[in-house]
Structure 1
Amino acid sequence: MQKKISQQMMMVVVVLVAAAVVDVTSFITASLASQQAKKTATLLKTLTVNALIMGENGVGKRSLASFILPDAPIIDASNFDELLVTLESSDNIIITNIDNSPNIKRLIEKIHSKQIRVIATARESFSNEYIDEIFSVKFDIPSLSQRPEDVRLLIEKFVQEAATLFGGDQVFSYENFKPDLSNNANSLRRQVMINYLLQDIQDIELINIIENYLYDKLGSNSDYRNFLYLYEVPLIRSGLKKFKSQLQLADKLGLNRNTLRKKIAENKKYLQGE
C-alpha cells in the first residue's frame, strides 16, 4: 500500500510524536540493565518507600514510575504551584523532572508534612542535599546506547504504532537504517515514524516536501549554492553506501574523482563517518 506524503501529513507526524514522547517505551526489557530496572520497579510496587528514578530523557523513567504507581497523578516539578495543590489532595504522586523544581527544599518539606508516597524522576545521577531525606531508593536507567538489545524491539513497537496510525502494513526497511539514539526513545520514535512514511515516497512528493522546506528560507543572493547540499549530501551518502568507494561513485555520477572529493570536502559536516 502506497503511503502518500503531504505537508499536512508531515505536520500530523510532528504533532503526534511530540504528544507521545511522555511515554514512548512501555519499558522494553530485553537487556540485562532494563530487566534489573524492571525488577526494582516490581519490588517497589509492594513497598511504601519513596523512590527516585534517574536517567536521560527517553529512557523510560516515567513508564517505570507509572508502573509502580499506576493510579497516581503525574506532575512536572517545574509546575510548582500545581504540584503544591496536588500534594494537598493526594496520598501518592509521581513527580517528573524533580531536578527542575524551583524550590526543592520546600517541596521536600511538604512531602514530609503530608506523608505522601512519591515516585520521582530526574536527570542522570542527580544529586541534591535534600534528596536523601525523602528518597530511600535511588537508581539509574542507562541510555539506549547502552541497551542495544532493547533498540530493535523498540523499533518494532514504533513500526506497529506507525502502521496503526497511518493505516499501512508493518513492513519496514532496516537496510542502512542507523537508529538515532541522541534523545533515546524520543528521537528513535520520531525517526521510525518519518522513515516509515518516506520508504515508499514518490519523487513528486519528495519535491513537494523540499519545496515546503525551502519556501521560507529563500531570500539571499547565494541561495542556490547555500542549499545545494540538500541534493548533494543524500546523493553522495547513498552512493557511497551503494557503491562502496569514491572511485565507483564518481564513475556512476559521471564526475571527475577530484570533483567528487571536493564535493565531499565541502559537505564534510554531513558526511562524517561515510
Structure 2
Amino acid sequence: MKTVQFLSNSIQVKNIIKGLTLSKSLFVSILIVGEPHTGKKSLVRTLYREQNFIDGGDFEKVNRALESSKEVIIYNFDKIESVDSLNFENKRVVAISNRVHNSSVIDRKFAFIYNMPPLRDRLEDVELLSREFIKEIREELMLDSSYPISISPNSLDLSMNIKSLRADIYKRLILNNISRKDIENILYDYLYENLGGNNAYRENLPIFERPLIEAGLKRYRSQLRLSSILGLNRNTLRKKINELGIN
C-alpha cells in the first residue's frame, strides 16, 4: 500500500489528530464528518495504517467486519441507511462521512464527533498543499522547477476542496509552461474537429479575439492605450468589446 502523507497547518485539523491519537487505545466509536475531498480518509489512514477500510456502501460487509473485528474503519458512512442497527459495543470504530442524516441517532452511536473544516476555512493549508502539489506535478510532468510560479491562495478553485485545488494547480502549471507552438497545436486540433458550416471564420474569431482583448484590458487598463497597442481604431476596439460581451 502506498504510504499516505497528511499535510496540515490548521489548528482545527491538528486538534482532530490529537483527539484521534488519544482515543486509539480506547474501545469507542468516532465519527469524522465534513465535505467531500477535505482529507478525512487520508488523515485516518495516516493514524491507522494497518487497518482495512470498509466501504459503507456495502452494508453486509460492514456488518461482517463488526462481527469479526475489534477495530473497524468505515468510509462512506453516510451511505448506511440503518445506522441504528449497527453494533458498536466493545469495538473501536472510526467512521468517515460526508454528511449527517440523522443527528439524534448519530449522537447515540458515537462517543466522539469531529468536524473536518473545508479548505476555504483552512487557507493556511491551501498554501501548504499548493506548494506540495506544485512540487509533485512538476516532477510528474518533468517541468523546469527553476521557472518561478506565483499562485495566490485566494484565486484557486476550492469548490471541491483538495480535488479541485490539485486540478486547478495542474491546469495552471500546464498553461504556465505552454509555448506558442503548443497553443497553435491546441487550436489546430480543436478547429479540425469543430470547423463547419458556412460562416466558420467569423464564428471562430472570438476564440482568438476574446482572450487577446481581455488580457490587453487587464494588462494596460485603458481602451485608448490598448487600441494603440493592437493597432486598432478606438471605436473599432469598443465595438469588438461590446460584440464579445466583455465587461
CA contact (8 A) 2:6 2:46 kept: no
Tell me which stretches of 4 or more aligned residues in structure 1 moved more than 6 Å.
none
Distance 2:244 2:54 in 1: 44
Matched pairs, number = 242
1:244–1:66 Cα change, 3 Å: same
Q: Cα 1:132–1:260, aligned 2, differ >3 Å: closer, same or farther?
A: farther
| More divergent stretch after superposition (128-137 vs 244-253) | 244-253
Task: State whether structure 2 residue 79 is matched by structure 1 residue 62.
Answer: no
| 1:39 and 2:18 matched | yes
**CA-CA distance at 1:180 after TM superposition:** 1.3
Question: Which residue of the other structure, out of 1, 5, 9, is the alignment partner of 1:30?
Answer: 9
Structure 2-normalised TM-score?
0.78
Q: Which residue of 2 aligns with 1:208?
A: 185
1:197 aligns with 2:174: yes
Structure 2 unmatched ranges of 5 or more: none
Correspondence 1:100 to 2:88: no
Preserved contact between residue 74 and residue 93 of structure 1 (Cα < 8 Å): yes
For 1:32, give the aligned amino acid. I
Other-structure match for 1:182? 159
Deviations 1:125-155 (A, max 9, x none): x241432232111121221111111111111
2:139 aligned residue: 164
Which secondary structure state, in structure 1, belongs to the residue aligned with residue 16 of structure 2? Answer: helix
What are the ranges of 5 or more consecutive residues in structure 1 without an aligned counterpart? Answer: 1-19
Compute the displacement of 1:227 (Å): 5.0
Equivalent of 2:85 in 98, 109, 120? 109
Cα RMSD over matched residues?
3.3
- Name the SS for the 1:182 alignment partner: coil
Percent identity for Structure 1 against Structure 2: 37
Whole-Å Cα distance in 1 between the matches of residues 177 and 127 of structure 2? 21
Shift of 1:83: 3.8
Q: Is the 8 A contact 2:137 2:170 kept in 1?
A: yes
CA distance in structure 1 between the aligned counterparts of 2:242 and 2:123, rounded to whole angstroms: 32
C-alpha separation in 1, matches of 2:87 and 2:239: 62
The answer as to whether partners of 2:6 and 2:42 remain within 8 angstroms in 1 is: yes
> Which residue of 23, 32, 48 maps to 1:53?
32
